Structure 1
């Protein structure tokens, strides 16, 4: 049986691997680490990289927390017990280059320990996902990104990618803007063992997804980080960052969970960009690369 202790240790190792890869990729900045404890139980390791050669701000955070769920979260999760354990890794990287995309990844595990000993069906599941938010959408990069995610999914279940891709399209959608946050990726939640997939299979899928992050993002960064860009493109980058901030503050489930369970505020809001702009009623020029990007921020594109 896969235990929460094993999951915790493997996630910590994946955090170490990703941080080492990103430091090598940036070539200048290193991660600052802060160990923190949660008042209600557990804690984590917040690691932030700032003002680098490529990364203006980024975080690779690990947490393993436990305690009692607030009533609002019990209702949201549709559970009757109030004790919980949750562990995971959350990553957001904001590059300083407008042609290098923002990237986000999360892998997580949740359980309610009391349900393992009282004769009820245990409450436990895995969740996660990875998505890309380019300031400018390049077709070849989008196809590469989605193909790599499909390759990971297909190792475990041929139905994962189409199902999780649609889930990401629906989840990473800014309703009040009627546009997707970026080009999507995959997203899944409450993934449990079935006749076809054991808990070990799902755990291995979670780890494979986590370990796909560094090679995928390294390729995308290296494709674009040496390209010249204009002040106007940088201004567009700040506008696209504002959409990212809007989604995370209004819709993101992880942000809500962290705030409702007395999580560490600095770690929760690490996902927000260092600089963003809201210009009134900005309209890109027809036929521009900016207009093309907006036209591709919609659900259901088969990359």
Structure 2
């Protein structure tokens, strides 16, 4: 296993996920743009929009290398300068408020033989939290994690709860999922080969897991009021990505391609001054559940 093999497998994953999403949507296809990074490497940005359920989505692959900026060296607490990073990043914004936003990122980072790791995760951001959907989503993630380590799900679920937290709102971005970073055999007692396999297993699960949630909800009717709530929730998504998201910051600070970095933003979002949902409404219930530590498997 070397960095080029990892990058090639991630490219295959991008192809497979794009084909799966096109089949699931049935109304639109991806448009691809190839790009080169000044300083080393490049990627494939693929965007789909105005589909039967996807309003806008992106499935990006990148493999970049070059000199690590000083601020990233300080953040990683490393002295080496030459880095390699590859990964697949996905965000899907549906048009129906009852279909959740989904995000996935799998990545590999290397400075040298001793400083390298896997990172990534997958999380769900429902506009309306539905307990059966939340339980299903987390069960699928636990099943993947348990194939590699009995500790993975609890550890990575807790990490996601901490990471996908909008501090200035005192609420989580959604119902979380799993999030992990700097995975090595020393840290996990799992071999490099199995960590790579775990990373790919998360990617392989993306389409079937999301397809189940989409097909449960894609044909539900909704009101204009529910559409406006969706725009407000998208506003929270934007706030998190621009203020807290580490991948966005890394891309901007390493001279990444701005269009690819910001493909995670929705086509339409809204901010309303001091909005308060009606008591006992579905909107109020959703807000009440946006907190860390929820045992979604028990719902």
TM-score category, normalised to shorter length: over 0.9
CA distance in 2, matches of 1:101, 1:81: 40
Residue of structure 1 aligned with 2:288, choices 272, 295, 299: 295
Q: Does 1:216 align with 2:209?
A: yes
CA distance in 1, matches of 2:12, 2:127: 31
Deviation string 1:174-218 (CA, Å, 9 cap, x unpaired) is 000000000000000000013831100100000000101000000
Residue of structure 2 aligned with 1:183, choices 175, 184, 193: 175
- Secondary structure class of the residue paired with 1:263: coil
CA distance in 2, matches of 1:144, 1:289: 20
Q: How many pairs were matched up?
A: 295
CA distance in 1, matches of 2:189, 2:135: 29
CA distance in 1, matches of 2:207, 2:35: 25
CA distance in 2, matches of 1:123, 1:257: 17
Q: Which residue of the partner structure matches residue 29 of structure 1?
A: 28
Matches of residues 1-303 of structure 1 in structure 2 within 5 Å? 2-112=1-111, 115-116=112-113, 122-194=114-186, 196-303=189-296
CA distance in 1, matches of 2:95, 2:39: 37
Deviation string 1:101-150 (CA, Å, 9 cap, x unpaired) is 000000000001xx33xxxxx11000000000000000000000000000
- TM-score between both structures, scaled by the size of structure 1: 0.97
CA distance in 1, matches of 2:42, 2:130: 39
CA distance in 1, matches of 2:64, 2:56: 25
CA distance in 2, matches of 1:133, 1:196: 31
CA distance in 1, matches of 2:102, 2:77: 30
Deviation string 1:226-263 (CA, Å, 9 cap, x unpaired) is 11111100000000000000000000000000000000
Deviation string 1:25-44 (CA, Å, 9 cap, x unpaired) is 11010000000000010000
CA distance in 2, matches of 1:273, 1:66: 29
Q: What is the aligned-residue RMSD (CA, Å)?
A: 0.7
- Secondary structure class of the residue paired with 1:202: helix
CA distance in 1, matches of 2:70, 2:2: 26
Give 4+ residue runs of structure 1 displaced > 6 Å after superposition.
Answer: none
- Secondary structure class of the residue paired with 2:45: strand
CA distance in 2, matches of 1:72, 1:156: 34
Q: Which residue of the partner structure matches residue 119 of structure 1?
A: none
CA distance in 1, matches of 2:209, 2:191: 27
CA distance in 2, matches of 1:267, 1:103: 17
- Secondary structure class of the residue paired with 1:245: helix
CA distance in 2, matches of 1:69, 1:9: 22
